[in-house]
Chain A
Amino acid sequence: MLLQVDGLRKTFGRRVAVDGIGFSIDVGEIVGFLGPNGAGKTTTMRMIAGYLEPDEGVAKIFNIDVAQERRRAQERVGYLPEGAPLYGEMTPWSFLRFVAETRGMSREGARHAVRRAAQDARLGDSIDRPIDTLSKGYRRRVGFAAALLHDPMLLILDEPTDGLDPNQRHAVRDLIKKLGEERGLIISTHSLEEVEAVCTRAIVIDQGRIVADKTPAALIDEHGTLERAFTALTRGEERT
């Protein structure tokens, strides 16, 4: 099993952000996290990526407990944080070299990994331009390339198409589908259309709990459309 999550719980002060979430993912699965803002999607992803520690529960990547052996687990996962934060003054090439070397790769290993990841993320000629001068779509691709550098089997992508124009979104979706053929992927998104287009499974989260874990087709069968499924399962609530 690529990823096994069991009883994850996280509170911020009195607010329960994630309340006993559990699921598992295998190779070849592209799992879409769906849910309203503040439902607990990002917090769950952050706990799996080792950025946050859970209050309770466990996330295991290749049977390695993320909280207990954080660095070993992080070696096996690629993570694209929400908004894909980068260092604007660097070029994609120098940024990816930096990420590769911070991951502990040798100079030669880093050079090789950067070349491969840049190709996989289709960075093209933009590799030598300052990141600040790149379009949002290309910046997102740089973030993808950074997550792919060490060729991880598990990829976690937090809102990978948020803020992109339709063409850029289309390109990123193609990339996700291609990456998902040989890996396990979790993507968080607000786009129901995206879940239908790329995901093999949809996990709907509401108020920190999983309220549905099915294929998009099964959700459509049950509710008519994904939008209706989303509204019915998340009670159409808007949270602060």
Chain B
Amino acid sequence: MKKRPGLASMTAIYRRELLSYVTTPTAYVFVAVFLFSIGLFTFQVGGFFEARRADLSAFFAFHPWIFMVFLPAVSMRLWAEEARSGAIELLMTLPAPTWALVLGKFLAAWTVAAAALLMTIPLWISVNILGSPDNAAIFTAYIASLLMAGAYLAIGSMMSALTPAQIVAFVLAVLVSFLLTALGLPLVLDFFSGILGGGVSEALARFSIMHHFDAAQRGVVEFRSVFYFVSLIALCLGFNALAVDARRGG
């Protein structure tokens, strides 16, 4: 009658969470606003046509900034809503490991982000019609973007576990995401360089999401960047699980 309990629980949580995204306006609004924003930034701000290059650099360049705001909106409800409605008591009295609950919810949110990214594929096709882009580089950038989306969602999920108020979870997630993203900006690096010296500023830059996404969006696969995103996801989800488990302490 039973299969591997942790995996079965994770799959059940994943399916329920995904169902709640598609049966409420959240996912649709997110995907629509994401597509509108990315279009606006790519064509109006990024000068996609003016660049006269068959690549998607104008498209990928804005991903960190757009994800930073939109993905916390997707993840803010993951745990905060459970705490507000009291359903967290139901979840935590089921014999499911905490990691299965955390991972199931996270993967559902990541699926929504992946669906949004998939819907930008027509842009990739268009570039192929207009010229001869480096498709391997674009593919790499998509994978990096998906990993980066996972990192922002993991931050959001962790923040959502800290408060029963979705709006507080959203603000905290945007704040932490902004700090981690902005650390890689030359302006911020120069500021820290002036105060703490070049070495510290360079070290700080290595913790920046922007720093690791930069190389990937040019099509360069760096193991350390993949490691960075995977580690960031694992770290945030680990803290997420600890925050959920801490509820048992009262």
Inside 8 A of A49's CB, which chain B residues have their CB? 93
Task: Please report the C-alpha to C-alpha distance between residue A72 and residue B96 in the assembled complex, in whole angstroms.
Answer: 10
CA distance A90 to B16 in the complex (A): 9
Task: List residues of chain A with CB within 8 A of the CB of B89.
Answer: 46, 51, 81, 85
Known: A102-B13, A106-B3, A109-B2. 19 other contacts (CB 8 A): A46-B89, A52-B250, A71-B96, A72-B95, A74-B93, A81-B89, A82-B86, A85-B87, A89-B19, A98-B12, A98-B16, A99-B90, A101-B8, A101-B11, A103-B9, A104-B2, A104-B8, A104-B9, A104-B95
Nearest CB of chain A from residue B22's CB, rounded to whole Å: 10
* 15 A-B pairs whose Cβ atoms sit less than 8 Å apart in the complex: A46-B89, A49-B93, A53-B249, A74-B94, A81-B86, A85-B87, A87-B20, A89-B19, A98-B16, A99-B94, A101-B15, A102-B8, A102-B91, A103-B9, A106-B8
Is A105 part of the contact surface with B, judged by Cβ < 8 Å? yes
The answer, yes or no, to whether B248 is at the interface (CB within 8 Å) is: yes
Within 8 Å CB of B19, what residues of A?
A: 89-90, 94
Residues on A with beta carbons closer than 8 Å to the beta carbon of B247? 51
B97 contacts which chain A residues (CB < 8 A)? 71
| Chain A positions near chain B (C-beta within 8 angstroms) | 10-12, 46, 49-53, 70-72, 74-75, 77, 79, 81-83, 85-87, 89-90, 94, 98-99, 101-106, 109, 146
Cβ distance A127 to chain B, nearest Cβ, rounded Å? 17
Residues of B within 8 A of A (CB): 1-5, 8-9, 11-13, 15-16, 19-20, 23-24, 85-87, 89-97, 247-250
Question: Smallest distance from the beta carbon of A236 to chain B beta carbons, Å?
Answer: 28
B-chain residues with CB within 8 Å of residue A101 when the two chains form the complex:
8-9, 11-12, 15
A87 and B16 form a contact (CB under 8 A):
yes
Q: How many A-B residue pairs have CB under 8 A?
A: 94
Q: Is the beta-carbon distance between B9 and A102 smaller than 8 angstroms? A: yes
Q: Are A103 and B16 in contact (CB under 8 A)?
A: no
A74 to B92, CA, bound (A): 10
- For B1, the chain A residues whose CB sits under 8 A away are 105-106, 109
B15 touches A98 (CB 8 A): yes
CB distance from A220 to the nearest CB of B (A): 34
Q: Is the interface of A mostly helix, strand, loop or mixed?
A: mixed
Q: Which residues from chain B contact A86 at a C-beta distance below 8 Å?
A: 87, 90
Distance, CA A138 to CA B138, complexed state (A): 53
A209 to B3, CA, bound (A): 41
- Contact yes or no, A104 B23, CB < 8 A: no
Q: Are A79 and B93 in contact (CB under 8 A)?
A: yes
Interchain CB contact under 8 A, B13 and A89: no
**In contact, A89 and B23 (Cβ under 8 angstroms):** yes
Given contacts A12-B250, A102-B94, A104-B2, contact A89 B20 (CB under 8 A): yes
Which residue on chain A has the smallest CB distance to residue B4? A104
A8 to chain B, nearest CB (A): 13
- Nearest residue in A to B104 (C-beta to C-beta)? A102
Q: How distant is the Cα of A61 from the Cα of B133 in the complex, in angstroms?
A: 64
Docked complex Cα distance between A51 and B246 (Å): 11
B23 → chain A, closest Cβ, in Å? 5
Cβ of A98: which chain B residues have Cβ within 8 Å of it? 12, 15-16
Bound form: Cα–Cα A90–B87 in Å: 13
